[in-house]
Amino acid sequence: MLINLSGLSTPDVYFTMTQTILPRPIAWVLSENANGSLNLAPFSYFNAVSSDPPMVMFSIGLQDDGSFKDTLTNLTERPEMVIHIASCHQLADLNLSSATLPPGVSEVQAGELDTAAVDGFRLPRLSDCRIAFMSRVDSIQRIGNNRQHIVFAEIHSVHVSDDCVQRDEHGRLVVLADRIEPLARLGASQYAAFGDIMTAKRPA
């Protein structure tokens, strides 16, 4: 089957893309609301883009009424954020945080999620997340016909749970992906758990 995207509506294009670009990592983004409470939302148009400087990107659409989502508003006004990698056991909490709440209402508080302070960073991280990137907005770019916004975020520091790391024979820090058990996004309401690890060394 060949799917011609130019003949589809924007929602149908989105539906097709999210079912064919898979699995996708999820950026579980914590930001600060204007009233000082903590906003939390997942975004699955997300990935790494640079190592120098260390940078990731994620894409934010608009609300159905055309207004900014809270995360975009927050990052425009207060550029700090903490981007978490959710584990499989956190699916229920992550899904709950995707609900549309009134502006200023905290998904962290609504979900009764615990946070932990981070040395040298203003915002806390979610205590239960095994990976968290303390980050700051580098730039926000508006793209496309539907006013999609791409957030480029520079990473300040990375938290990894102590029980998910070890040193290799060269003394380098190795993150144990099977202990992270990262949650991946598929299409519609589907998610994927971490599967078998396959190894293939790059040819010389």
Looking at residue 197, its pLDDT comes to 86
CB 82 within 8 A of CB 124: yes
Q: Kindly tell me if the per-residue pLDDT of 146 is higher than 80.
A: no
Q: Using one digit for the tens of pLDDT, what is the confidence trace for 28-45?
A: 999 999 999 999 999 999
Stated pTM of the model: 0.95
**Cα–Cα dist 29/58, whole Å:** 10
Domains along the chain with CATH numbers: 9-192 (2.30.110.10)
Peptide bond into 23 cis (omega under 30): yes
- Extract the tokens encoding 53: 């400087």
Gap between the Cα atoms of 181 and 86, Å rounded = 8
Q: State the pLDDT confidence band at 102, using cuts at 50, 70 and 90.
A: very high
pLDDT at 116 exceeding the cut of 90: yes
Distance of CA 139 to the CA centre of its chain: 16
Partner residues linked to 126 by β-bridges: 115
Judged against a pLDDT cut of 90, whether residue 144 lies above it is answered with no
Distance of CA 157 to the CA centre of its chain: 15
**pLDDT tens digits, one per residue of 53-86:** 999 999 999 888 888 999 999 999 999 999 999 9
